[in-house]
Amino acid sequence: MTRNDARRSGGQEQRILTTFRWVPEPVRGLVRDVRVRWALEEAGLSYSEHLIGFEDQDTAQYRHLQPFGQVPVYRDGELELFESGAIVLHIASQSAALMPHDEAGRLRTLTWMFAALNTVEPPVAMLVELDFFSAGEAWARERRPALVERALKRLGELDRELEGRDYFAGQFTVADILMTTVLRYLRNTDFVSRFPAVDAYFKRCNARPAAIKALADHMAVFDAPVEA
């Protein structure tokens, strides 16, 4: 539920998601605020948006909230958080829809959250950043095959892991939000579709109503007139 939905219901928002009001077309849908929106939708928690521009990233006020000048930033009442993983973990701690109650299930979920952010995201992000920002460079053409190989290796490992199960931690959890948004970075390639279990998983997660709503709300920001 975004600011506009909340306004319609007359709500006063204590949760505020800060993200960019504009990003270039090729990265729309990939900005990490989508993770937070998705987690909030799954948890049924309403929030409002605070939109910033690139010119705000280096202000002392913003660096106080986000030391690296990045998005997303999230406020929940008095609590200010940065790092999308930490933010969705906080949201998951408020909802059984995102995190099992039992300790073994919670630890399985944490393990797969770290796997998404620490083991799968780096090789995928390296390849995608190269394709987005350096595609025409001679050095990038030389470097790319090794990065492709690394990303495909990870996808193969995920594929084996997903055989015979729908989600990484037994049931749908916040770890699947992180993993799906990482896999989405590869949307300009056919890599995900080469691995049947990963492909089915990716489609299964993206088909969730909360995922669809989160992405639509993220994209709606770029259609809105820019406020003076």
Ligand X SMILES: N[C@@H](CCC(=O)N[C@@H](CS)C(=O)NCC(=O)O)C(=O)O
Say which residues have a Cβ less than 8 Å from residue 131's Cβ, sequence separation at least 6: 144, 188
Closer residue to ligand X, CB minimum distance, 68 or 163: 68
Closer residue to ligand X, CB minimum distance, 57 or 94: 57
From its phi and psi, is residue 77 left (phi > 0), alpha (psi between -120 and 50) or beta?
Answer: left
Smallest separation, CB 164 to ligand X (Å): 30
Smallest separation, CB 165 to ligand X (Å): 26
**For ligand X, what does the binding mask look like between residues 30 and 69, x meaning CB under 6 A?**
-xx------------------------x-----------x
CB 170 within 8 A of CB 140: no
Is there binding between residue 122 and ligand X (CB under 6 A)? Answer: no
Is there binding between residue 84 and ligand X (CB under 6 A)? Answer: yes
Closer residue to ligand X, CB minimum distance, 85 or 123: 85
Smallest separation, CB 145 to ligand X (Å): 25
Smallest separation, CB 101 to ligand X (Å): 26
Chain centre distance of CA 38: 8
Smallest separation, CB 184 to ligand X (Å): 12
- Which token pair is 130? 């190269």
Closer residue to ligand X, CB minimum distance, 33 or 159: 33
What strand order describes the sheet that includes 48-52? 48-52, 15-20, 73-76, 79-82
137 to 7, 134, 186: CA distances (angstroms): 48, 6, 20
Say which residues have a Cβ less than 8 Å from residue 172's Cβ, sequence separation at least 6: 42, 97, 166, 205, 208
Give kind and range of the element (H or E) at residue 74: strand 73-76
Is there binding between residue 70 and ligand X (CB under 6 A)? Answer: yes
Closer residue to ligand X, CB minimum distance, 32 or 108: 32
Q: Which stretch binds ligand X (CB under 6 A): 83-91, 175-183, 200-208, 213-221?
A: 83-91
- Contacting residues toward ligand X, per CB under 6 A: 31-32, 57, 69-71, 83-85
